[in-house]
Structure 1
Amino acid sequence: MQFPESWLRSFCNPSISTAELADVLTMAGLEVEETRPAAPSFSGIVIGEIVEAEQHPDADRLRICRVEAGAHSKDGPLQIVCGAPNARVGIKVPLATVGAELPPGEDGKPFLIKIGKLRGVASHGMLCSARELKLSEDHGGLLELPADAPVGQDIRQYLDLDDTLFTLKLTPNLAHCLSVHGIAREVSALTGSPLLTPAIEPVRPALDDRLPVQVQAPDLCGRFSGRIIRHVNTRARTPAWMVERLARCGQRPVSPLVDISNYVMFEYGRPSHIFDLDKIHGALQVRWGREGEQLKLLNGNTITVDAQVGVIADDQGLESLAGIMGGDATAVSDDTRHVYVEAAFWWPEAVAGRSRRYAFSTDAGHRFERGVDPALTVEHIERISQLIIEICGTPETVCGPVDDQVLGLPERAPVTLRVARAAKVIGMPLSQAQCADVFRRLGLQFSEGEGVLHVTPPSWRFDIAIEEDLIEEVARIIGYENLPDELPLAPVSPRVRVEAQRGGFAVRHALAALGYFETINFSFVEQRWESELHGNDDPIRVLNPIAAPLSVMRSSLIGSLVQVLRHNLSRKTTRVRVAELGRVSRRDAGVGHSHTSVAGICQTLRVAGLAYGPAEALQWGERERAVDFHDVKGDVEALLAPRTVRFEAAEHPALHPGRSARVIVDGQDIGVIGELHPRWRQGYELPQAPVLFELDLEAVQARPVPVAQPLPRHQSSVRDLALVLPEGVAAQALLDALRADASGLVRDVLLFDVYKPQAANGDMATGERSLAVRLELLDPAATLTEDRIDATVQAAIERARAVGARLRA
């Protein structure tokens, strides 16, 4: 919100400086983002009147002017050569006298006016355009001043160029401050200076004409006011004072009627619309749009509406986008003679977000979606009517009566403030009288009880709904700077992690120790990754993606790591080890809504890693070889140590069917490991397949608590067995069978050799392999005898036969 200080002080003029005013506004929650002068620095420029103007004898585009400048032209009018096309007798313009300094140019240095000659004719000064004074970008000619401008007066004083422009950064709850009068009302409450609100005198109707209006959607429009004004002069010129104030609010002047509508919007915060009455066909209907209807807007865009967008229509089609922008079909022009002025109350929820559907925003939509005072539509119609008659009026101008339809206005329930509660929240002693004074200064109606005040929010305050809103009002009017400085007192209770769980950073350190670099990726990814790498054909879609490809939420980390690999390979990296701890999202109807969850969506943390390229960095001590499944399998075992990890063959959409497995710990499936599927290696243009793993982070964080045990008093015994096993039987099945010892003497089973003959021999057939295992036997309570050892080994061999193994001869 930008506005000039002079306009604000016309409503409320506290006896404080500009800097103090900015500080008062900021400390009250209306952050002053910037203050800057209305015009750049210049001096020596006065109001001059051209009393003579004749053609230059040697230049077609130059005129020799005689300019009266009051006390600055004691010896008669000054002779000035000027090339402006509008230099003519009788106009008053800015005159830079000899010695004047114009605003600095691109080099930052001011331009000094001296006596000069143009085509042999002396020039004692310079007549200026608005652009040369850097008041606007208009350079079509001299800046023409009103006929009553006093000749010889300093232009800065006359145009109030020492005014200051304020730019406020308002939060969405401060809709009542989106006007100069609204800000003045706040300044009055903050400083105690009286608020000057000029009375708006009704315009007496001189005809009975009314435009029929049917409000068919009370949930769109709560109040609709309008009137007909006939015989207006739309070719009139917007007065300089209005142009100046609009320009200092950042608004470019357009035409008198549009400028009047914008002026009242900045003055009182009321967006309105002025229709060309002759272009309206029949009656107006205020309703929701219908699927497929089209409307050409004032900005030239043609949009298609639906039943979620409010419109104003006539008997032939749409005329306006309700509360946002008017239509081109009924726009006023220089040929307009009769107008219909409309001011309405649009429900904020019926306007919010509609303009963003069509990729634009307007001042009207910005205000209506935050809430505009519904009580003053008629008064603002009267204010607009006054200005139209004053600026565009003719002897024939007449107004019709104001047609005001009230369908339903916001019901403002009283809000109770407990004085003791306010004192506790604010952190300083408060009396009921102080709170009552704050509400009185803000213009809030209230009643009092014992220790409480019941406040009825006024029509212009849409931000007061609960007790905390009133507490905020009390705090900011009393002044945040007046609150006592007290250090917060609170018990410090450190969160102690249970010993059976390690933190996420401990997992990161473990991955770094294994040679993996951590990477951080977006949680939204390409839909292709979800369908190809995770088999997820119904991913969770992002409603407003930051980029078109990043349109869905990821249900796995694998796609992100593959993309990181591609990024590194494109930069000639030959060995890549990356890992990520991140959250994934998937649909789960069993998840309810809470402060940490969204209904129907399960979000879990996972850890994943990717290895690509040589198993070891280039070195002389070991032959180079590509990383394989077993290398990453070892990394996973190290990450989960000291727990025992099982790997069972499994299939996964992203992984090679014969080179992937489920990771099982304590009987629980916690993730997958494997080589990237050849189809996706080729599809993602990778020279060789990386090996990946993805695990549930909660399972990785779990760790057993060490339990002290006495050292065994007896030595263990070991026995080695060579067992022949068919290729179709997994080695894990054999190891599980050997460990399943009912006597409890088998302490450990270790596979230490695998032999596969190239051809059938005497004791092994084709399709068989020999597995050499070592059994460690121990009885903590007694020394093992040969008989007990032999019996235990024989029992182990029998269990091995149960899974298809036999003792090798």
Structure 2
Amino acid sequence: MQFPESWLREFCNPPLTTQELADTLTMAGLEVEELQPVAPPFRRIVVGEIKEAAQHPNADRLRVCQVDVGQPELLNIVCGAPNARAGIRVPCAMVGAELPPGEDGKPFLIKVGKLRGVESHGMLCSARELKLSEDHGGLLELPADAPLGQDIREYLKLDDTLFTLKLTPNLAHCLSVYGVAREVSALTGAPLKALQFPEAAAAIDDRLPVRVSAPDLCGRFSGRVVRGVNPRAQTPQWIVDRLARCGQRSVAPLVDISNYVMFEFGRPSHIFDLDKIHGGLDVRWGRAGEQLKLLNGNTITVDEKVGVIADEREVESLAGIMGGDATAVSDDTRNVYVEAAFWWPEAVAGRSRRYNFATDAGHRFERGVDPELTVEHIERITQLIVEICGTPETALGPIDDQRVNMPAQNAVRMRVARAAKVIGMPLTQVQCADALRRLGLSVREEEGAVTVLPPSFRFDLRLEEDLIEEVARVVGYNNLPTNPPLAPITPKLRAESRRSSFAVRRELAALGYQETINFSFVEERWETELAGNAAPIRLLNPIASQLSVMRSSLLGSLLQVLKFNLDRKAGRVRVFELGRVFLRDAGVQGSDSSVEGYAQPMRVAGLAHGAADALQWGRKDKAVDFYDAKGDVEALLAPLRPTFEPATHPALHPGRCARVLLDGKAIGFVGELHPQWRQSWELPAAPVMFELELDAVLQRKVPAFRAVAKRQFVERDIAVVVAERVTHDEVMGAIAAALPGELLRSAVLFDVFRPQPPRAGESAPAGALAQGEKSLAMRLTLGSDSAALTDTEIDAAVQTVLQALAQQTGARLR
């Protein structure tokens, strides 16, 4: 909210400087976001009158003016403004005057000069040259009664400051200059100007029939007929200036009066053209399909959830938000109907956003406007209409006031001890009661507590905490003690068997991956294609039409990052993300950190594309493949040892995808992107990807002491022939089962051999591997902590391994 300081001080003028006043408001919760002078600095610019304006002898567009500035002699000034003419009064910068600073920050000094051979002793100014507005159409014309020679800053009251307040939604009672003045009076003790609303005598008995059909929409409706107005009257300059300094441009006198009272007392109102209303008015909820052309030119369609004011033929106004074009006042208006109503905040909130616009009226009504002063504010509007637009034929009708559903004011009790505990400083009951009374609240004291009956303009006072906040504001936040908080501190230690998510990030970064952060809402196509999710969780109000569902996998987000980088000629991309996915799960109970029916686990996913290594000279270039991603997963989970088994995943290549298992439990997938999705995403090569449950990745073994072996280990190499269908895990499982305990220290596959098919006409050599067979060479590391192994024990261990391989995998020694 923006307003001039001078207007505020008309209602309450505390002995504070501008900055002190701003600090007082800010420390009371009414944050002063900006202080801005009404006009930039300039001096020696006075009111002057052009007595004569003759054509310049050497220039078609210049005039030589004789200007009276209240001095004995007229000033000879050359002017090029198109409206420079005799008889008007304008700002005149005399010799020695300083105009507002330009772009270089330096003031412009007026000197005696020559323009096309004619001396000029000053300068006639436009509003733009004084930086009062952007209007540069000509000189700033002043009223004919402006006193000659008076300083223009004094005459236009330019030594003023604009206050811009950033108000929270609970401070609706401060959305007016008088409301802020009421707060200033409470905070400083300065007297508040008493308001008087003299009743205007009704000269006619004309009434407009009004029916309030929706009491849950409108609790009170007041109105008055005014006949014989002059809508072409000139809005007084003081109203125009105040509206401009509140950020509102002048439109027409009747509209300006309504806006002025809104800024003055916070009461939005509306003035109808009475002759354009058909029959009476009906205050009701809208009906499906009804249309209304608003004052801003938009035509909207209303429904049953939007309040309207309608006559016998059509909808005339959007209740509490904006009037309609059909009954708008114009230059031909002669009779008006002045309306002021109380609209329930719940009935107005959010309605204007449905139509993509916001209004000052809607902003106030959806927060709450005092329902008790509709009649008084109509009297104030009437007073201004008579003063500004009145004619000898002006006649006022009586005020028709319908109170159909007024809000009930419930008493709120505040315990003094509770207030002292919450605020954090000792307080007495006298202090609390005094603070609340200064805010204009009705206070009843009892033992250890005070009870407040909130006034009609305080919609925010409903709980004990609301009163505690008011006490803290009046006492002053800057007066609160700065004692450090005292509380028992219990460190929340993470179990040694778990690592932090930051450790996972650091490990992936060490593997060459870069972290990305993506939206949790994604395209529906990603869920269908990459996650196989035919029924994703839909958003009720997506930020973009394509981001309409919640993700159940991180792979689509990483593919989008890859595509973005490849489109910008990135050659090698390695990215990862730690993020939450969203799954339907009827077993999830609702709590502070969960939503009933929806699981939200954390996952970690990575993607690699391009060369396996960054540009270097030591090794030949090699594209990243499945085994690079598998190795990264093993490094990420180390020292835990995962196992892998063939699997299928909607996003991954059917023959190049594996399920990751940890202690026999599936924790994720690793594999190469499916060729179909590689083609649809237009990728030059298929990336390799993995996605794991974060909880499993955070697990780690607690380090345990183990003595260094005292005896040298023994290594034996064996090569066995197995069928092509036999997997590496089956072979390693058979070896581990054959030598339980500490004897087998490790078994490592170091060679795989497959025979080449014989050429045409040749036969396979004796003892050669048949088609469908492969040779696996493994190194066994054997050792014992109790004694050195003998050759007999070593040979027996090898034979045991060979027998187990033969029995479980059908292997034979090569």
Tell me, yes or no, if the aligned pair for 2:802 and 2:813 is still in contact at 8 Å.
Answer: no
- Name the SS of the counterpart of 1:45 in structure 2: strand
Closer/same/farther in 2, CA of residues 799 and 455 from structure 1, 3 Å limit:
farther
Residue of structure 2 aligned with 1:400, choices 393, 397, 402: 397
How far did residue 780 of structure 1 move?
7.8
How far did residue 105 of structure 1 move?
4.2
Residue of structure 2 aligned with 1:428, choices 425, 430, 443: 425
In structure 1, what is the equivalent of residue 755 of structure 2? 757
- Name the SS of the counterpart of 1:196 in structure 2: coil
In 1, Cα distance between equivalents of 2:108 and 2:802: 105
1:768 aligns with 2:755: no
Number of aligned positions between the proteins: 806
Once structures 1 and 2 are overlaid, which stretch shifts more, 320-329 or 535-544? 535-544
In 2, Cα distance between equivalents of 1:802 and 1:480: 83
In 1, Cα distance between equivalents of 2:561 and 2:595: 29
Amino acid paired to 2:406? L
1:451 aligns with 2:448: yes
1:214 aligns with 2:208: no
Tell me, yes or no, if the aligned pair for 1:726 and 1:768 is still in contact at 8 Å.
Answer: yes
How far did residue 589 of structure 1 move?
3.2
Once structures 1 and 2 are overlaid, which stretch shifts more, 624-633 or 387-396? 624-633
1:600 aligns with 2:597: yes
Residue of structure 2 aligned with 1:234, choices 227, 231, 235: 231
In 2, Cα distance between equivalents of 1:85 and 1:612: 69
Task: Output aligned runs, 1:270-285, within 5 Å.
Answer: 270-285=267-282
Closer/same/farther in 2, CA of residues 711 and 375 from structure 1, 3 Å limit:
same
In structure 1, runs of 5+ residues without a counterpart are none
How far did residue 63 of structure 1 move?
6.8
In 1, Cα distance between equivalents of 2:570 and 2:221: 68
Deviations 1:603-654 (A, max 9, x none): 2211111122232334444333222212221221122122231211111111
How far did residue 569 of structure 1 move?
2.6
1:519 aligns with 2:516: yes
1:342 aligns with 2:339: yes
In structure 2, what is the equivalent of residue 183 of structure 1? 180
Residue of structure 2 aligned with 1:161, choices 158, 161, 165: 158
In structure 1, what is the equivalent of residue 302 of structure 2? 305
Residue of structure 2 aligned with 1:496, choices 490, 493, 496: 493
In 1, Cα distance between equivalents of 2:751 and 2:60: 106
Once structures 1 and 2 are overlaid, which stretch shifts more, 264-273 or 97-106? 97-106
In 2, Cα distance between equivalents of 1:783 and 1:112: 104
In structure 1, what is the equivalent of residue 507 of structure 2? 510
How far did residue 795 of structure 1 move?
7.6
Residue of structure 2 aligned with 1:368, choices 359, 365, 369: 365
In structure 1, what is the equivalent of residue 97 of structure 2? 100
Closer/same/farther in 2, CA of residues 515 and 94 from structure 1, 3 Å limit:
closer
Closer/same/farther in 2, CA of residues 797 and 294 from structure 1, 3 Å limit:
farther
Closer/same/farther in 2, CA of residues 383 and 763 from structure 1, 3 Å limit:
same
Closer/same/farther in 2, CA of residues 54 and 620 from structure 1, 3 Å limit:
closer
In 2, Cα distance between equivalents of 1:745 and 1:67: 112
Closer/same/farther in 2, CA of residues 620 and 144 from structure 1, 3 Å limit:
closer
In structure 2, what is the equivalent of residue 30 of structure 1? 30
In structure 2, what is the equivalent of residue 259 of structure 1? 256
Task: Output aligned runs, 1:646-725, within 5 Å.
Answer: 646-708=643-705, 723-725=720-722
How far did residue 662 of structure 1 move?
0.8
Once structures 1 and 2 are overlaid, which stretch shifts more, 500-509 or 302-311? 302-311
How far did residue 776 of structure 1 move?
6.7
How far did residue 127 of structure 1 move?
4.5
In 2, Cα distance between equivalents of 1:476 and 1:227: 40
Tell me, yes or no, if the aligned pair for 1:745 and 1:792 is still in contact at 8 Å.
Answer: no
In 2, Cα distance between equivalents of 1:455 and 1:223: 24
How far did residue 585 of structure 1 move?
2.3
Closer/same/farther in 2, CA of residues 151 and 790 from structure 1, 3 Å limit:
closer
Provide the TM-score with structure 1 as the length reference: 0.91
Amino acid paired to 2:296? N
In 2, Cα distance between equivalents of 1:241 and 1:621: 82
Tell me, yes or no, if the aligned pair for 2:201 and 2:396 is still in contact at 8 Å.
Answer: yes
In structure 2, what is the equivalent of residue 74 of structure 1? 72
1:470 aligns with 2:470: no
In structure 2, what is the equivalent of residue 357 of structure 1? 354
In 2, Cα distance between equivalents of 1:753 and 1:511: 29
- Name the SS of the counterpart of 2:600 in structure 1: strand
Tell me, yes or no, if the aligned pair for 1:739 and 1:746 is still in contact at 8 Å.
Answer: no
How far did residue 452 of structure 1 move?
0.5
Closer/same/farther in 2, CA of residues 745 and 794 from structure 1, 3 Å limit:
farther
Amino acid paired to 1:655? L
Closer/same/farther in 2, CA of residues 515 and 124 from structure 1, 3 Å limit:
closer
Task: Output aligned runs, 1:610-625, within 5 Å.
Answer: 610-625=607-622
How far did residue 263 of structure 1 move?
0.1
How far did residue 709 of structure 1 move?
5.7
Deviations 1:692-743 (A, max 9, x none): 1110111000112244467789998887665544434544344445544697
Tell me, yes or no, if the aligned pair for 1:656 and 1:676 is still in contact at 8 Å.
Answer: yes
How far did residue 115 of structure 1 move?
5.6
Residue of structure 1 aligned with 2:537, choices 524, 537, 540: 540
Amino acid paired to 1:757? P
In structure 2, what is the equivalent of residue 16 of structure 1? 16
In 1, Cα distance between equivalents of 2:778 and 2:438: 90
In 1, Cα distance between equivalents of 2:57 and 2:669: 94
Tell me, yes or no, if the aligned pair for 1:721 and 1:773 is still in contact at 8 Å.
Answer: yes
Closer/same/farther in 2, CA of residues 631 and 147 from structure 1, 3 Å limit:
closer
Amino acid paired to 1:231? G
Task: Output aligned runs, 1:404-423, within 5 Å.
Answer: 404-423=401-420
In 1, Cα distance between equivalents of 2:647 and 2:515: 27
In structure 1, what is the equivalent of residue 5 of structure 2? 5
Tell me, yes or no, if the aligned pair for 2:44 and 2:96 is still in contact at 8 Å.
Answer: yes
Tell me, yes or no, if the aligned pair for 2:739 and 2:797 is still in contact at 8 Å.
Answer: no
- Name the SS of the counterpart of 1:375 in structure 2: coil
Closer/same/farther in 2, CA of residues 44 and 793 from structure 1, 3 Å limit:
closer
Closer/same/farther in 2, CA of residues 55 and 622 from structure 1, 3 Å limit:
closer
In structure 2, what is the equivalent of residue 441 of structure 1? 438
1:561 aligns with 2:558: yes
In structure 2, runs of 5+ residues without a counterpart are 758-763
- Name the SS of the counterpart of 2:581 in structure 1: strand
In structure 2, what is the equivalent of residue 805 of structure 1? 810
Once structures 1 and 2 are overlaid, which stretch shifts more, 768-777 or 596-605? 768-777
Deviations 1:735-759 (A, max 9, x none): 4455446976885655444332234
Deviations 1:256-281 (A, max 9, x none): 01100000000000111111112222
Closer/same/farther in 2, CA of residues 393 and 752 from structure 1, 3 Å limit:
same
In 2, Cα distance between equivalents of 1:794 and 1:407: 100
Once structures 1 and 2 are overlaid, which stretch shifts more, 433-442 or 419-428? 419-428
In 1, Cα distance between equivalents of 2:713 and 2:117: 120
In 2, Cα distance between equivalents of 1:619 and 1:81: 76
In 1, Cα distance between equivalents of 2:608 and 2:685: 11
Amino acid paired to 1:25? L
How far did residue 47 of structure 1 move?
3.2
Tell me, yes or no, if the aligned pair for 1:295 and 1:302 is still in contact at 8 Å.
Answer: yes
- Name the SS of the counterpart of 1:311 in structure 2: strand
How far did residue 125 of structure 1 move?
4.7
Once structures 1 and 2 are overlaid, which stretch shifts more, 515-524 or 629-638? 515-524
In 1, Cα distance between equivalents of 2:287 and 2:142: 50
In structure 1, what is the equivalent of residue 324 of structure 2? 327
Amino acid paired to 2:201? R
Once structures 1 and 2 are overlaid, which stretch shifts more, 184-193 or 541-550? 541-550
- Name the SS of the counterpart of 2:373 in structure 1: helix
Once structures 1 and 2 are overlaid, which stretch shifts more, 556-565 or 244-253? 556-565
- Name the SS of the counterpart of 2:525 in structure 1: helix
Closer/same/farther in 2, CA of residues 768 and 96 from structure 1, 3 Å limit:
same
Amino acid paired to 1:754? V
Deviations 1:368-413 (A, max 9, x none): 1211111111211111111111111111111222222222233332
Provide the TM-score with structure 2 as the length reference: 0.90
